[in-house]
Amino acid sequence: MSDAPLAHLDDQVEELLRAIADLASLEELTNAEPTLVGKRSVLSSLQKSLGSLSPEERRDAGARLQEARRRVVEALEAQRRDLEARARVAELDADRLDLGDVVLDAVRVPLGAGHPGIVAITQYALEEVFVGMGFRVEDGPEVESDWYNFEALNMPPAHPARGMWDTFYLELGEPETVVLRTHTSPTQIHLMEKAVAEESLPLHAVMPGRCYRRDTPDARHLAAFHQIEGIVVDRGITFADLAGTIDTFTRAYFGPDIDSRLRPGYFPFTEPSAEFEITCTLCRGEGCRTCSQTGWIELGGCGMIDPAVFAAVGIDAEEWSGFAFGFGIDRCAQMRYQIADMRALIENDLRFVRQFS
């Protein structure tokens, strides 16, 4: 019975360790500390009881007790560090500005997908159809000289056909020599000049872009609008190629139940020329306000490239022939999405715009 005072030491230590692990707050720890390791603790009373042992027994028992105390104190300190860390986290949590909510609110700010979005959607879809048919997509300037917008297109100064386009002139250079392009046809001229310079004919390209006319906006017209021009210059091109291209495009973009038709027309830069119309998608050909009761909507013009245009850019009309077309992208959007009044495209009414975002 020599070390009888320490007979239950292991169990007592286990119990202390469990009690330490159960401490749930720093406050609890501070309150429990005297009974766990202090003067009022089991370990201290065991210490006192060693007095009754012989000197050798006391040395061994003292060493055991010291080791037991070391474990308990260590466990208590570890628990203290853990509780302190948890208290710090809780404090930081309470202080935290909840950025999660702030960021989400910022994300919810409506970004809009305004009217450019609608025309862009249409432009990209049109480009895709034409790229699928073997055309390349090209770009051209919106500010043009008189030569590109009119003269090279077979309209010398004072040509009466110039009146077909109500033109915005810029105050640059000689009066009435610099214009906001009234159509995308001048880009044809740029591309043909480049192809001649680079000796890279044949040429198959579409050219989308913004155009300007001094028009009063109405259900089918805007003063700033978009066209997509197309050009093919190759050997042996005929009007049948043009008609086939227009028809293939119409069915690919508007669907198989929309018809296209070509009506004789006049453009100084094509001969013969035609106006290109499709079934009005709003009334399916019945006649409505948007199509002025005709059942048809004019999308644009087309024709075989006039030899005078080839001459202006230095292409040999004996060797090459070609066709060109140009039609309204906004008009395509109007027909594709059945927009009764085209002015909706620029009014920025969110109820309209949101349908396309």
Residues in contact with ligand PHE by the rule CB under 6 A? 183, 185, 229, 267, 270, 273, 300-303, 324-326
Beta-carbon count within 10 A of 212 CB: 20
Minimum separation from the CB atom of position 101 to ligand PHE (A):
53
Looking at beta carbons only, is 79 or 227 nearer to ligand PHE? 227
Alpha helices for 182-328 (secondary structure H): 185-197, 239-254, 307-313
Q: How far is the CB of 284 from ligand PHE (least distance, A)?
A: 26
Of residues 79 and 321, the one with the C-beta less far from ligand PHE = 321
Phi and psi, residue 83, nearest 5°: -65, -35
CB of 229 to ligand PHE, least distance (A): 6
330, two tokens: 């906004």
Count CB atoms within 10 A of the CB of residue 148.
Answer: 21
CA distance 185 to 239: 19
In the complex, the smallest distance separating the C-beta of residue 213 from ligand PHE, rounded to whole angstroms, is 9
**Helix locations, the chain, DSSP H:** 9-22, 26-36, 42-49, 55-95, 99-107, 115-132, 146-149, 185-197, 239-254, 307-313, 329-336, 344-347, 350-353
- Residue (16 or 229) nearer to ligand PHE, CB: 229
DSSP class of residue 272 equals: E
Q: Which lies closer to ligand PHE via its Cβ, residue 62 or residue 272?
A: 272
Q: How far is the CB of 102 from ligand PHE (least distance, A)?
A: 51
In terms of CB distance, is 69 or 190 closer to ligand PHE?
Answer: 190
